[in-house]
Amino acid sequence: MTFGARAAGIYLLVLACGFAAANVAVSLIRIRGDDLPEYGSWTGVLEMERKLRLLREFAREGDVDALILSSSIGDMGVSAETLSEELSAHHSRSFRVFNFSVGGADLTTYALLYRYARLVAKPRQVWVVTPLSVASPQIGKGTLDEQLLSGPAARYRDFPPLLWVSYRFFELPLVRHAAAVRDVAVYQRFASRPATNLDLYHINRHGDMVSWTYNVTQYPNAAGVRRDRRDEVLAFVDPSKAERRFNAYFNPRTRAAIEDLRGLATGDGASITVIAIDGAASLSMRDRDFLEASQRFFEPLARFLGAGPAIDVREAFEPMPYMVSDLSHLNAIGAEAFSTLLAARMARKPQPSPVSYSASQKIMERLPDPTWTNFTALVPKRRGDPPAALELRYLQNWGVTPLEPGTFVHLALRTPDDKEAVVPACALSSGTVVADMSGLELDPEDQILVTQLVVGRGGMGGGVHSLWLRFAGLMATL
């Protein structure tokens, strides 16, 4: 070996060692005990990249029996965690479901999402959870499709080996966190970090985006949303509009994407199931005319995907006011109820009786509530739960001051009889608050507690309004 070749070899070895050391160093960086924030630099969609990492860990723990593909309606309105629990019980064996839904997705997006999901998992079934949804014949500016097709990963989407290499490269800590390291070096803060739903909502290990909120300000708009939705759906059975409506919903771009998903799933040996859902406000329309008209969409969709008849539990599901996060989305209470019905239908078991919660009149009658804030949470308490303490877990993002361990705060509560109380609480760890409920008498029933974290001793309406604390992913243990 010549001196030059030896020197080049040493140089490359030193370079490789330096690169490896830099990756280790970046992977060990912690800020407030957390990893560096993510920027979504591989696909341009931060939520999907987070879910891809969760799916990878989920697949390492066992088989992925079913993968859910949907928009934010299925992301928040269907609980893969509940489906896993219920279907495991129905089948008397482990049945594991992961929710790979992403806000803004549509029938034109699901094949793209599946291409990424199959990098880390091989699901046995693919569940397309969708409302009646029409996608534009062209890719719209700013849409999820445009983001997924313009990121660095998109150039390899039709070449699985290169896509896998690209994924592994961008998973290297130095590459994955390059933008965060740059921001810290240049600005001493994460100046370029994109704001996303991850700042507002927790994603659990099953991929579900979890919300415990409800939105009082949107109540007056629900009637208009239902009226427009009804007109849209009934057009499928109007002889003067039906053909045009069908061609709009199943335009060439949509049909090509459907065929793409079908081909990918078939090649992987995965079956496809279509599951009907709708926006939260529209789920209350359960009459025969509306539901039968909607089958003019679901029946051909299932046929185009090579699936059996669509599974539809909308008629059996009654969306109570405390189950609704906003006009489009169910909250975690609604997602659990909908998914419990869905699991029984999929397992061909009797329809379970829903849990009937008592809740404040302001919620049940959808009344204006001047004490409501963006950070008001609904906490379900089941009959027989011990009432001594309430544990709340708040999601804290990078743009706000954290709630540090040892911080003393108060929790304002409203019970189903519209009585209000303020109880002491303390942050025990980052984002985890435990409230002392020992002095509060609660009826022994299934009920919804309305809660607000407050500073000082202010009551309902004194809850946090500013960006000092954002929460979603709030888990209650009574």
Tell me, yes or no, whether 267 and 387 share the same domain.
Answer: no
Tell me, yes or no, whether 256 and 119 share the same domain.
Answer: yes
Exposed/middle/buried for 390, CB within 10 Å: 0-12, 13-18, 19+?
buried
CB 362 within 8 A of CB 164: no
Last residue of a domain, one of 325, 354, 383: 354
Tell me, yes or no, whether 207 and 182 share the same domain.
Answer: yes
Tell me, yes or no, whether 349 and 366 share the same domain.
Answer: no
> pLDDT at position 475, please?
38
**First-residue to last-residue Cα distance in the chain:** 72
Tell me, yes or no, whether 366 and 256 share the same domain.
Answer: no
- Bridge partners of 393? 432
Assigned domain for 472 exists: no
What does the alpha-carbon distance between residue 197 and residue 49 come to, in Å, rounded to a whole number? 13
Tell me, yes or no, whether 2 and 69 share the same domain.
Answer: no
Tell me, yes or no, whether 116 and 100 share the same domain.
Answer: yes
Give the range of the structural domain holding residue 243, as residue numbers without chain letter: 39-211+218-354
> pLDDT at position 5, please?
64
Assigned domain for 302 exists: yes
Assigned domain for 271 exists: yes
- Bridge partners of 424? 410
Assigned domain for 56 exists: yes
Single pTM value for the model: 0.92
> pLDDT at position 468, please?
34
What six digits make up the tokens of 312? 């539809």
> pLDDT at position 465, please?
41
Which residue type does 360 have?
S
Assigned domain for 475 exists: no
What does the alpha-carbon distance between residue 285 and residue 294 come to, in Å, rounded to a whole number? 11
Closest by Cα among 131, 59, 146 to 101: 131
Measured in degrees and rounded to the nearest 5, phi and psi for residue 379 equal -115, 115
Tell me, yes or no, whether 349 and 365 share the same domain.
Answer: no
3-state secondary structure of 64: coil
Half-sphere exposure (CA, 13 Å, Cβ side) for 83?
25
Query: Sign of dihedral through CA atoms 260, 262, 265, 269?
Result: negative
3-state secondary structure of 214: coil
Tell me, yes or no, whether 234 and 263 share the same domain.
Answer: yes
Assigned domain for 327 exists: yes
3-state secondary structure of 411: strand
What does the alpha-carbon distance between residue 378 and residue 450 come to, in Å, rounded to a whole number? 5
What six digits make up the tokens of 88? 């495991």
- How many domains does the chain fold into? 3
How remote is the C-alpha of 229 from its chain's centroid? 23
Angle at 290 between CA 285 and CA 294, to 5 degrees: 115
Tell me, yes or no, whether 345 and 367 share the same domain.
Answer: no
Assigned domain for 468 exists: no
Tell me, yes or no, whether 372 and 449 share the same domain.
Answer: yes
What does the alpha-carbon distance between residue 15 and residue 19 come to, in Å, rounded to a whole number? 6
Tell me, yes or no, whether 333 and 262 share the same domain.
Answer: yes
CB 472 within 8 A of CB 211: yes
Closest by Cα among 272, 431, 334, 257 to 74: 334
Assigned domain for 463 exists: no
> pLDDT at position 463, please?
63
Dihedral angle computed from the Cα positions of residues 212, 215, 216 and 222, in that order, rounded to the nearest 10 degrees = -120
Treating both helix axes as pointing N-terminal to C-terminal, what angle do 252-267 and 110-117 enclose, rounded to 10 degrees? 20
Q: The domain spanning residue 92 has which CATH number? A: 3.40.50.1110
pLDDT per residue, tens digit, the chain (478 aa), is: 565 666 666 656 666 666 566 656 655 666 666 777 788 888 889 999 999 999 999 999 999 999 999 999 999 999 999 999 999 999 999 999 999 999 999 999 999 999 999 999 999 999 999 999 998 889 888 899 999 888 888 888 888 889 888 888 888 787 777 787 788 778 877 878 888 888 888 899 999 999 999 999 898 999 999 999 999 999 999 999 999 999 999 999 999 999 999 999 999 999 999 999 999 999 999 999 999 999 999 999 999 999 999 999 999 999 999 999 999 999 999 999 999 999 999 999 999 999 999 999 999 999 998 888 887 899 999 887 777 788 888 877 776 667 788 888 888 999 999 999 999 988 887 778 888 888 888 888 999 999 998 877 778 887 654 333 333 333 333 3
> pLDDT at position 474, please?
37
Q: The domain spanning residue 412 has which CATH number? A: 2.40.30
